[in-house]
Amino acid sequence: MMPEKDFISLDWDSSFFDIITGMITRQDLQLKELEDILDKMKDDGYRLVYYPSVKKIEESVCNQYNGILADEKVTFAKSIATDTLGNSDTHIKPYDQNDVSPELLELAFQSGIYSRFNVDPNFKHNEYRQLYKIWIERSVNKQIAKEVLVYLERRIIGGMITLGEKNNRGDIGLVAVAASSRGKGIGKKLMVAAENYFQQNGYQQVQVITQGINTPAMNLYQSSGYSIEEKLFYYHFWL
């Protein structure tokens, strides 16, 4: 990423999507400021711009700059410093294969159905599936995760959760329960196992990010004792 005054260039995204992609770094812009930055980025050759905003912006700006509200990004947090946590379910184990199994890959896809890369209709080539395939592969290979836990019953993966670190906190990445295994409390059990892992490894807080439209995830995190720490409205502008 090359820093600029009000925005940064996203080299990885640009390469992946094969269009010049950037992100506006200021999250509380006035309308004229936003328009000026988008004009500047368009002149500089940007064709996809992410704008995480603390507030919703006027529809007229979206219409003018081909923008879409792609996500309401919700960050949940919970302190586990002094919590007495329950025991992890014995069905939950670290994923111990080097390659991503078809079951695990399908769970990764399920975890991304509310992703802004799936919600935004301007992505027309299943980009979100490619992104989540990379995400789970790099998690299993411990490139972006410390551990991947799976719920195993009769050698069938009924759910999974990926565990990492951000800002000195335990960070929950992907969470999913197979359709055939829902209604058994597996999501809650995965959350307990994740918190046990983090507490055992010296973390005092845990965070997890989801989409505001992802009602099952929102309910899971709130019922697991997490509080909303931040909300951001994530816009995509196609210039």
**Tens of pLDDT along 215-237?**
999 999 999 999 999 999 999 99
Residue type, 35: E
Topology given in CATH for the domain delimited by 77-231: Aminopeptidase (3.40.630)
With b meaning 16 or more CB within 10 Å and e meaning fewer, what string describes 103-126? ebbbbbbbbbebbbbbbbeebeee
Residue 132: its pLDDT value, please?
97
Residue 84: its pLDDT value, please?
65
CA angle in degrees (0–180, nearest 5) for 173-175-178: 155
Q: To the nearest 10°, the Cα dihedral for 53, 20, 165, 137? A: 130
Q: Say whether pTM exceeds 0.75.
A: yes
Domain regions of the chain by residue span? 7-65, 77-231
Mean pLDDT, rounded, of the chain: 94
Rounded Cα–Cα distance for residues 146 and 80 (Å): 18
- Tens of pLDDT along 34-51? 999 999 999 999 999 999
Highest mean pLDDT among 3-12, 74-83, 110-119: 110-119
Structural contact between residues 161 and 197, judged by C-beta atoms closer than 8 angstroms? no
How confident is residue 187, by pLDDT bands cut at 50, 70 and 90?
A: very high
Q: Which position has the higher pLDDT, 92 or 183?
A: 92
First to last CA, the chain: 20
Q: To the nearest 10°, the Cα dihedral for 107, 113, 117, 119? A: 170
DSSP string, 116-167: HHHH-TT--S-HHHHHHHHHHHHHHTTSS-SEEEEEEETTEEEEEEEEEEET
Residue 183: its pLDDT value, please?
86
75 phi and psi angles, rounded to 5 deg: -100, 125
Residue 4: its pLDDT value, please?
55
Structural contact between residues 23 and 51, judged by C-beta atoms closer than 8 angstroms? yes
The stretch 74-82 carries a mean pLDDT of 92
Residue type, 218: M
- Tens of pLDDT along 98-157? 999 999 999 999 999 999 999 999 999 999 999 999 999 999 999 999 999 999 988 889
